Structure 1
């Protein structure tokens, strides 16, 4: 286990974070980081050719620091969130980590912060903690330090994911275009220097990623995740056999799942039950995997190709559903790699890369229901890469395939001794970590301590 990665910039020094100081050459801003890639000062230049430092978050959110000016641009994807706050006295902070942002803000202002009662996903600029703002997708934030004051402007930029078209209007053309985009995406990710792995379930989404990955990286490792309550090992084995790779079957035990909850909640910055149920399996998997892996997944395909629709009662035009699901995902943070990075690895979600997204959003809706099936165009194209059974296999949500969708809430109830306690426990995990971060941000509790304290708080609540 490595350390939780985070980055924070502030208008003023943060006493509690001095041991994590990050030098920003020639900048009036103060930088702090933990397990974060060290920026190279002067490798970028502003409009006048003056050197600046660029920090990248989540692949395509950028923070450019030059002198007394900070420019932040969030992408349309906004995979890893940024949290910020400012007041009229010149205090300003922005961070990749909600808890570190809270700790810094308390240190600067002596204010009291608390977790919202609704600590789930907010479709707007609210974070799960009162007083901290989540910088939304497709935004540009400019902060200029002027003595003891700050001048701040925030505006919207072009949202490249807001538009859908019917450019690809035949199933074969659309399917092949998306496969080509996936191949390019995988090639870009393979610049990673470490070991390569892929999570497979036996379905078309992860199956295509694995098959295309095998073409470019024949030695990658294939994994399938199961729990005591369910798995898709047999389907995944069929896929692994078809692409000529051995399958590593990983069955998560209940305790490892529970211990992955704090890390999942922290990485997401919220306690939305369904998102946590989906994310906790991969967090638990990463905690067991040796560090240094690049892990490919099939996450995101359902969002951009079917709007999470299944074969039952699909509308002819699914553009509205796709727009809704894409937008939600830009706020849920469930595709962030922070939980994996805390374990020394990295996640790659090729379906959520810009080129693949654009291809999917430019595909005619009727094509996506070819043969009366969701993702029909993709399934058709998959036939030359996968067994037909895998290409057309009925969709199963990941947290149902591994059994967590039904069993995690019951596991938490059994552990807490209270009925329907899962949402309260998830929120309390955030509360417990906030309390610790406020006191000693550079000395986080272990997963077991966080879990124990959260459960104790729930079970002893009047």
Structure 2
């Protein structure tokens, strides 16, 4: 199934290039352009609130990033973790502005604001910067209101307390107790996901030989969820035997997924498209999930549960540190970077009509992890010591304490992609290819093609562009 991006735009001018692509609501001073999940429509009368993560009308009382839209006021609330970004562009001379949830809409929005469309060609330095000139990303924890008053538009911005600052003195100092607390929080999050799903929903995991996806798979299976674990093999390595070992322990079947080099490489443009950026490591970490999604490996009626996010909060990919404060800072910095990377956003599943959850990246689980001391997380040369200690009470020692790097985190896959791109372009600058892919996507978007219809052609065009420099 080809992807169809979902998005929402609120502007104080008409955006004619979007009219044939979306549901339109003319509120007088503001116009809304909305393309949500199949069968979902905006309420007929304002005010209405759109959940930025799901692009559905927001449920009262729920805590989520939102767009609240009235006839002359738009209020944007950005979550502290900011997985699903909201972008902003303004022409102060003309007083025209727009908020939108998809960066690739920029070529269809900026001209109507009286602004040029210009690809910057390099990774933005400012935390609110993007790859498109004149478009900024709202900061995490921001509440922003733009309202019409006295014949002009007034923009008010306030920053909420940054919750990450509360975790510089972690207090959970017993590895077993900290691991058990995290498993309890994970089990509760999986139960919450299941309670909100329709009856009879099936589930899937992307299972490697690592502790993260293994923990999620174990807890989902032990909760009695109808579960299918999928394990990905690439030409550069696999962990099928390790994944099968856990499945045998749980008494469930493993579904191996063999991806070819070309299938992974062809996923690069789509990874860049859904991320909205071109940072090499972020793109490469996203390649496995993107390929699985693009090829329809996991059926659309199965809810995907991943182990993503654990490395960040549990110090799974740490650098050597001399002092406990160094590791605390590494963890907090990793979380901070990720809330600007879009790697855990919901944009790709929405486009494919699927559902994905990252239990480790839910706030109750993150809180337990961030309250856990460095001495619990890294001990005796092992990362995620606390999590392994707790899981060691549930599964055999070789499963809990296996020391391997999951294929989706780079390792052999990242090296394999680097070698292929070096051979194709004659340069080791992988990011140049990803930036060229974004430029190609931006060009297509200007023609109204918001979703990649021929990823291979986009990739080859990017390679030719880099090779010709």
State the TM-score, normalized to the length of structure 1: 0.90
Which residue is 1:357 aligned to?
A: 366
In the other structure, the counterpart of 1:163 is: 166
Q: Which residue does the alignment assign to 2:145?
A: 142
Q: Distance in 1 between matches of 2:302 and 2:88?
A: 31
Three-state SS of the structure 2 residue aligned to 1:185 is helix
Q: Tell me the residue number matched to 1:100.
A: 105
Say yes or no: does 1:66 pair with 2:70.
Answer: yes
TM-aligned CA deviation for residue 25 of structure 1: 8.1
Equivalent residue in structure 2 for 1:192, among 187, 190, 197:
197
The corresponding residue for 2:17 is 16
Match for residue 236 of structure 2?
229
Residue 48 of structure 1 corresponds to none
- What's the CA shift for 1:397? 4.9
| Structure 1 pair 219–293 and aligned structure 2 pair: CA distance change class (3 A) | closer
Cα shift at 1:26: 5.3
Conserved? CA contact 2:77–2:144, under 8 Å: yes
**Pairwise CA distance, 1:435:** 1.2
Give, in whole Å, the separation in 1 of the partners of 2:77 and 2:406. 33
Secondary structure, in 3 states, of the residue corresponding to 1:403? Answer: helix
Instruction: Decide which moves more: 181-190 or 28-37.
Output: 28-37
Deviation at residue 401 of structure 1 after TM alignment: 6.3
- For the residues of structure 2 that align with 1:372 and 1:339, how far apart are their CA atoms? 36
| Residue of structure 1 in register with 2:81 after alignment | 77
Aligned equivalent of 1:245: 252
**C-alpha distance in structure 2 between counterparts of 1:374 and 1:169, whole Å:** 15
Map of 1:133 onto structure 2: 136
Q: How does 1:294-443 map to 2 (within 5 A)?
A: 294-306=303-315, 308-309=317-318, 315-317=323-325, 318-399=327-408, 403-414=412-423, 416-441=424-449
Give how far 1:124 is off: 1.0
5+ residue gaps, structure 2, are 55-63
State how 1:113-128 maps to structure 2 within 5 Å.
113-119=117-123, 122=125, 124-128=127-131
Q: 2:236–2:413: 8 Å Cα contact kept in structure 1?
A: yes
Aligned residue pair count: 450
C-alpha distance in structure 1 between counterparts of 2:102 and 2:288, whole Å: 21
User: What is the rounded CA distance, in whole Å, between the counterparts of 1:398 and 1:213 in structure 2?
Assistant: 22
2:90 is equivalent to residue 86 of structure 1? yes
Aligned match of 2:215: 208
Structure-2 separation of matches of 1:418 and 1:330: 33
- Give the CA RMSD over aligned residues: 2.4
How much does 1:449 deviate? 3.1
Query: Structure 1's 27 and 315: CA in aligned 2 closer, same or farther, altered over 3 A?
Result: farther
Q: Distance in 1 between matches of 2:339 and 2:126?
A: 9
What is the distance in 1 between the residues matched to 2:82 and 2:358?
A: 13
Match of 1:449 in 2: 457
1:176 aligns with 180
Deviates more, 1:198-207 or 1:359-368: 359-368
Q: Which runs of 5+ in 1 are unaligned?
A: 44-50
Report SS of the residue matched to 1:75: coil
Residues 156, 266 of structure 1: alpha-carbon distance in 2 compared, 3 angstrom cutoff: same
Q: Per-residue displacement from partner, 1:256-310 (whole Å, max 9, x unpaired)? A: 1122111110111110011111001110011122323321111111111116227
User: Contact conserved, 1:94 with 1:101, CA < 8 A, in 2?
Assistant: no
